[in-house]
């Protein structure tokens, strides 16, 4: 699933590319991806809406529109937004230009396509059809239970070390699962939790009650460095994620432990191990990430 760096990469590119554009039409062959509204109702509401700005909350892409509407897109496991020009031939969208949009098969599963007023389209490619597209009134979205319960953003200026420490005062559980809890901290998923804990030299199954001030400082600093670095590298494309232009990110080229089971730890030479936590794989070095 695209995590904070992948979503932020898309959001920054969208802000540069589509601000002040207007939606003229929408096409889909997967009505189930559009939540809250029927396709007819959704279409009626969104046609003619102008894009004011694009932002992120947790793993959600939020496109602020005219008349107080917000288009929410959550890419889920395998979805990714693309920007380009396609034409519909025999029920299939064909990219007009050579490049990643036409050459990379993962970019060919277009199930929702927004036509804009500059002849380009904003398209959702999703091989598994798990993504969701919703149209909200801004105030309604901000006051929804789901959004009110989201944890703080780890890259915001007010997310200080002191605030990070404060979060842990009454928290229980294993540290990796805690970091991935979207109601605790927003945006961190499996890839980055594994990499953060490796850099901080913390075992993924360590109980948070055993973490001291130095442990928390290392985790906080690792979180800042790793998330920022991945944004600079335009996300992680180990699996299905692609940028707005259909290109792969580069974070997968520098990960230290994620999906590295059996390989040598780059820090101490031990062998990277994989365990299951809450149904997800955790990767770590048992030699230099030792439980207390």
The CATH code of the domain that includes 129 is 3.20.190.10
Tell me the two tokens of residue 136: 């909200």
Domain co-membership, 101 together with 187: no
Domain co-membership, 128 together with 193: no
Sequential pLDDT tens for the chain (292 residues): 899 999 999 999 999 999 999 999 999 999 999 999 999 999 999 999 999 999 999 999 999 999 999 999 999 999 999 999 999 998 899 999 999 999 999 999 999 999 999 999 999 999 999 999 999 999 999 999 999 999 999 999 999 999 999 999 989 999 999 999 999 999 999 999 999 999 999 999 999 999 999 999 999 999 999 999 999 999 999 999 999 999 999 999 999 999 999 999 999 999 999 999 988 999 999 999 999 9
The pLDDT of residue 91 is 85
Domain co-membership, 116 together with 165: no
Would you state the torsion angle of the CA atoms of residues 135, 26, 18, 228, taken in this order, to the nearest 10 degrees? Answer: 60
Of the candidates 23, 59, 33, the residue with the CA atom closest to the CA atom of residue 129: 33
Domain co-membership, 102 together with 175: no
Domain co-membership, 26 together with 55: yes
Domain co-membership, 178 together with 236: yes
- Domain for residue 12, yes or no? yes
The pLDDT of residue 1 is 81
Domain co-membership, 122 together with 36: yes
Final residue in a domain of this structure, among 144, 171, 187: 144
- Global confidence as pTM: 0.96
Report the C-alpha gap between 45 and 69 in whole angstroms.
Answer: 9
Domain count, the chain: 2
Domain co-membership, 125 together with 244: no
The pLDDT of residue 162 is 97
Domain co-membership, 97 together with 184: no
The number of CA neighbours under 13 Å toward the Cβ of 222 is 20
The pLDDT of residue 132 is 97
- Domain for residue 155, yes or no? no
- Domain for residue 76, yes or no? yes
Active site residues: 2-3, 59, 280
Q: Whole domain around residue 68: which residue ranges? A: 4-144
Final residue in a domain of this structure, among 144, 179, 200: 144
- Domain for residue 92, yes or no? yes
Radius of gyration, CA atoms only, the chain: 20
- Domain for residue 290, yes or no? no
Q: C-alpha angle 73/246/116, rounded to 5°?
A: 55
Chain centroid offset of residue 81 CA? 11
Final residue in a domain of this structure, among 82, 111, 144: 144
Domain co-membership, 15 together with 135: yes
């Amino acid at each position: 699933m695209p995590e904070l760096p992948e979503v932020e990469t898309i959001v920054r590119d969208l802000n540069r590319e589509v601000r002040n554009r207007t939606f003229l039409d929408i096409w889909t062959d997967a009505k189930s991806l559009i939540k809250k509204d029927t396709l007819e109702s959704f279409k009626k509401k969104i046609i003619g809406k102008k894009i004011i700005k694009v932002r992120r909350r947790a793993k959600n892409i939020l496109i602020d529109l005219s008349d107080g509407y917000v288009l929410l897109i959550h890419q889920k496991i395998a979805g990714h937004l693309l920007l380009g020009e396609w034409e519909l031939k025999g029920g299939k969208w064909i990219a007009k230009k050579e490049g990643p949009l036409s050459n990379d098969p993962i970019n060919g599963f277009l199930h929702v396509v927004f036509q804009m007023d500059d002849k380009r389209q904003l398209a959702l490619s999703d091989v598994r059809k798990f993504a969701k597209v919703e149209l909200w009134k801004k105030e309604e979205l901000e006051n929804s239970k789901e959004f009110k319960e989201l944890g703080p953003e780890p890259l915001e200026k007010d997310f200080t070390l002191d605030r990070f420490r404060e979060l842990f005062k009454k928290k229980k559980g294993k540290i990796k699962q805690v970091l991935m809890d979207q109601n605790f901290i927003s945006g961190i998923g499996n890839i980055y939790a594994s990499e953060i804990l490796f850099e901080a030299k913390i075992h993924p199954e360590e109980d948070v009650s055993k973490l001291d001030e130095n442990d928390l400082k290392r985790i906080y600093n690792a979180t800042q460095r790793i998330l920022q670095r991945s944004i600079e590298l335009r996300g992680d494309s180990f699996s299905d994620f692609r940028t707005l232009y259909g290109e792969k990110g580069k974070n997968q080229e520098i990960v230290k432990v994620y999906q590295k089971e059996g390989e040598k730890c780059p820090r101490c030479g031990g062998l990277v191990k994989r365990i299951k936590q809450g149904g997800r794989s955790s990767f770590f070095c048992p030699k230099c990430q030792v439980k207390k």
